[in-house]
Amino acid sequence: MKLAWMTDLHLDRATESSRTAFLRQLQDETYDAALITGDVSDAHQLQTHLDELAEACAPRTVYFVLGNHDFYQSSFAKVERRVADICLARHNLKHLGKGGPIPIGQESALIGHRGWADGRAGWGNRSAARNPDRERIADFRGLSNEKMFQKMGELGKESAAYFRRSLPYALNCYRNVWIATHVPPFTGNSLAVFCVKSSGCENIF
């Protein structure tokens, strides 16, 4: 299977002409399915842009996870509900992190979750850096540094728990498991997709 991998599209910042050209390219390229690892748009325009991506890629499936920017100008709960409704209306849109491994070829599977920067690397809540998420995502707005990093930690643990549940089964059934996430799981890692190879669960940890 040939995947068209996209990440950090930020279509809310694209001009109409560049977005149209990009969508036309998606229609014309040869691939079996698309994978988007977050930051499609902001919350106000996410539905429109996911609709456009689904239409451009159809009938091919579009697998995706959300990034922090996809929640900007809204809250986690509202965006998650809206995305669930979009996926019901657009059958070729598949939000990862809501089920088990997805076969992509005879020996490979795909799993994914949005991930989240949990603040464990570096200075943590002692950092003087200002995270724009703090002002642009309702769940973070008005929180102290301590509460902000506590919430980030909870989101990171949620993603980790999903992978702990999914990986053993996936690696027991497939030779290669592709993991899609928005926030890289390793310090210094700039890739949003990585592959784990194993002949069985005993090789995971």
What is the per-residue pLDDT for 136? 96
> Residue 6 in 3-state DSSP?
strand
**Cα–chain-centroid distance for residue 93?**
13
**Among 34-48, 70-84, 173-187, where is mean pLDDT lowest?**
173-187
Whole-number mean pLDDT of the chain? 88
Mean pLDDT for 83-108 is 94
Give the Cα separation of 92 and 74 in Å (integer).
Answer: 25
Q: Is the pTM of this model over 0.85?
A: yes
Domain that holds residue 69: 3-203
- Residue 146 and residue 127: Cα distance in Å, rounded? 10
Q: Report whether pLDDT(177) > 50.
A: yes
Model confidence at 153: pLDDT above 50: yes
Predicted confidence band of residue 1 (pLDDT cuts 50, 70, 90): confident
pLDDT of residue 195: 60
Q: Using 50, 70 and 90 to split pLDDT, how confident is the model at 7?
A: very high
Poorest-pLDDT segment among 5-14, 62-71, 120-129, 168-177: 120-129
Q: What is the pLDDT of residues 131-150, one digit of tens each?
A: 889 999 999 999 998 899 99
8 Å CB contact between 63 and 34? yes
Q: Which of 30-44, 71-85, 93-107 has the lowest mean pLDDT?
A: 93-107
Q: Phi, psi at residue 64, to the nearest 5°? A: -155, 155
Indicate whether 157 pLDDT > 70. Answer: yes
Q: Which of 30, 37, 24, 98 is nearest to 64 (CA)?
A: 37
Structure confidence at residue 196 as a pLDDT band (50, 70, 90): low
Quick check: 194 pLDDT over 80?
Answer: no
| Amino acid 188: pLDDT | 56
Q: pLDDT: is 118 or 39 the higher one?
A: 39
How many domains does the chain fold into? 1
